[in-house]
Amino acid sequence: MMAPVFIHDIDAGDESEWRAFLAAHPFGELVAGGGPDRRVPVVVPTQYVLDGDDVLIHLLARNPVWDAIAENPAVVLAVSGDWAFVPSSWKAVDGEDPRLGIPTTYYASVQLTGTVTVIDDPDGVAAVLRTQLHGLQPDEDVVDPLEHAARLRAIRALRMHVDDVRAKFKYGGNVDRAHRAAVLGRLLDRGAPGDGAAARHLRRRIDR
């Protein structure tokens, strides 16, 4: 399996932060390492739903990740986003030389580690789909997944019980408030994709 992401104490996220982040970003990468002879992990981009302390996912039955899970049911779900590049000149305040600034990237990343239970039977797969549909499109009127009986045979589902959470919110925790405020203003002015989300994280954590 992959090594856990390094998280400095100043960037660690609490449970309320990572749960809110996952709710807003229901798409990540499922990583299955397989057995000792598998040199390269299987990485699957996938929609998911967090169901309490479990993760629910469904995939095509022919996806190679199932062979990896059969060898080793311990997996990682990695979800990253809300990133923004911070140029070096943005790190200068109060007459500091902007040429001496150090560029960086602000981002949030959550890695969930856990053990998978594979769900093959149509009733079990349908139950997973019901939960996913409720979480992802609660206002849509749809038939019960069991109505798609033939198609259910082409997919499998999994329930991943989360054993460990590594949550990183890297938004200027290594600099003082004045430097964070300067970057916050620049993010709001630039308005590039991701800047708004990064600014919201930075504003929430600016006094930490």
Q: Is residue 181 part of a domain?
A: no
Q: Which amino acid is at 85?
A: F
Write the pLDDT tens digit of every residue in 63-87: 999 999 999 999 999 999 999 999 9
- What total number of domains does the chain contain? 1
Contact, 84 vs 198, CB < 8 A?
yes
Predicted pLDDT at 40? 80
Which CATH number goes with the domain that contains 146? 2.30.110.10
Q: Which amino acid is at 24?
A: A
Predicted pLDDT at 38? 65
Instruction: Name which of 28, 82, 80, 110 is nearest 192 in CA terms.
Output: 82
Q: Is residue 72 part of a domain?
A: yes
3-state secondary structure of 113: strand
Q: Is residue 121 part of a domain?
A: yes
Predicted pLDDT at 37? 56
From the centroid of its chain, how far is CA 100?
A: 33
**Which stretches in the chain have pLDDT values below 50?**
1
Q: Residue 26: which domain range?
A: 9-84+101-173
Decide: pTM greater than 0.85: yes
